Amino acid sequence: GDVDTLLLDKTGTITLGNRHATEFLPLPGVTERELAAAAQLSSLSDETPEGRSIVVLAKDRHGLRQTEVTGQQVRFVPFAAQTRMSGVDIDGVQIRKGAVDAVLRHVAALRGTGSVKMPELDALAERIAKAGGTPLAVARGDRVLGIVHLKDIIKGGIRDRFAELRRMGIRTVMITGDNPL
């Protein structure tokens, strides 16, 4: 009877915990197909639901089939918590996807600079984060191509449960550790 606000953790409570790719958002001078192709290549060995959804989205939106890499020098780079990126090196070209700040640090290191500022990328990432999504930056070599928008899958019936709580006068607030906004 004394409760007026309920704080709920997002992942696993409100959502299923599996995010899926919903769109490719290229930076100026990059085509969506170019971004999708790089994102797909960086996800070929990624067995997470997110990685598989990037491969499927590239196929569905752009007709991109899984790229054949036989005969090329290929090294897959699994996701690591330390780098917050994954990807692939193909014939000496590094393709990476991951947290925006991690990809920017990677690009800065390839360029031999201390940092890279990209207001267009920051604006896209902030827009996705404010909407509750997760932005994944994608880079090929020392060029950032754009962002993959990941959305959480909401558990069935959650909207109805929240509506019932509101009718009872209880405000619901989602909290999460993966999105500071």
Residue 9 annotated in active site: yes
Among 105, 109, 99, smallest CA distance to 129 is for 99
Q: Note the pLDDT of residue 59.
A: 92
Type of residue found at 133: G
Query: What is the model's pTM?
Result: 0.82
Residue 25 pLDDT grade (very low, low, confident, very high; cuts 50, 70, 90):
very high
> Which residues of 46-142 form beta strands (DSSP E)?
74-80, 85-90, 93-98, 134-140
In the numeric block, which tokens belong to residue 51? 């990685």
- Choosing from 9, 60, 101, 178, the catalytic residue is 9
3-state percent breakdown (helix, strand, coil) of the chain, nearest 5: 35, 35, 35
Average pLDDT of span 12-40 = 90
What does the pLDDT look like over 118-169, one tens digit per residue? 999 999 999 998 888 899 999 999 999 999 999 887 888 888 988 998 999 9
